[in-house]
Amino acid sequence: MPVADLGGVSLNYELTGDASRPVIVLVNSIGSNLHMWEKLCPALAERYTVLRYDARGHGLSSVPPAPYTIAELAGDLLGLLDHLKLDQVHLCGLSVGGMVGMWMGLHEPRRIQCLILANTAARIGTREGWTDRINAVRQQGMVPIAKATLGRWFTPRFQNDHPSEMDAIRSMLEKTPVEGYVGHCYALADADFRKEIAGIRARCLVIAGTHDPATTPDDARALHAALANSEYVELDASHLSAWERPNEFQNAVLHFVAEEERKHG
């Protein structure tokens, strides 16, 4: 896969689909890499250009020293878009990826055609909770947190029915560099868009997971209520809904983006 050297960081990325078509950017959750979108890419790439990438400190991208901020993560994405000469995109972000999308909607609205904010919130967790996680990962590494994360990311039924997939996701988490994971924890500890979120004017789709303990349906409904031009979809899934319910997730995204394209086509 190609790597974009953006100065202070190098990002591993993949661009698929017909380059003449509109672009959908997929922005990952903490602890994952671009392969978390594997189940969606074939269907999305049939209609659009799909850009996915490893955030700083994750996958095959470089690992700058922690801490990171949401503004830095969004700046990495802006650098990648400029590198690829992509002016406007549809952005789909999950969890911290959704917060990157919110930052873009607030600070770089010209670059965003529409936003899909999945399994995310204007404020995720607490500073104390993220500080505890930083300390735990610094002391114990990624193996214990990987095991605990599976319980948050997937429903018990899905875990039981897909053991090989759980092995693959666990491996992805365990291979995430500690410094990169901790850097994202710092970003989430500081990020709070609750007072700003109403300023987003882009059309937004909010996707929630009924069983998500990390960004609950109540969090998602609060986000939906704060966004003036938004729609709400709830899936029978936990936190990583794009993996657990890929068909429903991609259908919601495809319908939403198609409506946006029709409005501006």
Fold of domain 3-264: Rossmann fold (3.40.50)
Q: Give the start-to-end residue ranges of the domains of the chain.
A: 3-264
Q: Give, for all 265 residues of the chain, the pLDDT tens digit.
A: 799 999 999 999 999 999 899 999 999 999 999 999 999 999 999 999 999 999 999 999 999 999 999 999 999 999 999 999 999 999 999 999 999 999 999 999 999 999 999 999 999 999 999 999 999 999 999 999 999 999 999 999 999 999 999 999 999 999 999 999 999 999 999 999 999 999 999 999 999 999 999 999 999 999 999 999 999 999 999 999 999 999 999 999 999 999 999 887 6
**pLDDT of amino acid 207:** 98
**pLDDT of amino acid 63:** 98
Contact criterion met (CB below 8 Å) for 201 and 230: no
**pLDDT of amino acid 83:** 97
Query: φ, ψ for residue 162 (rounded to 5)?
Result: -135, 60
**pLDDT of amino acid 8:** 92
- Residue 122: which of 100, 97, 103, 99 has the closest Cα? 99
CA distance 136 to 139: 5
Q: What pTM did the predictor assign? A: 0.97
Residue 24: how many CB atoms within 10 A of its CB? 27
Contact criterion met (CB below 8 Å) for 61 and 72: no
- Residue 194: which of 123, 128, 127, 129 has the closest Cα? 123
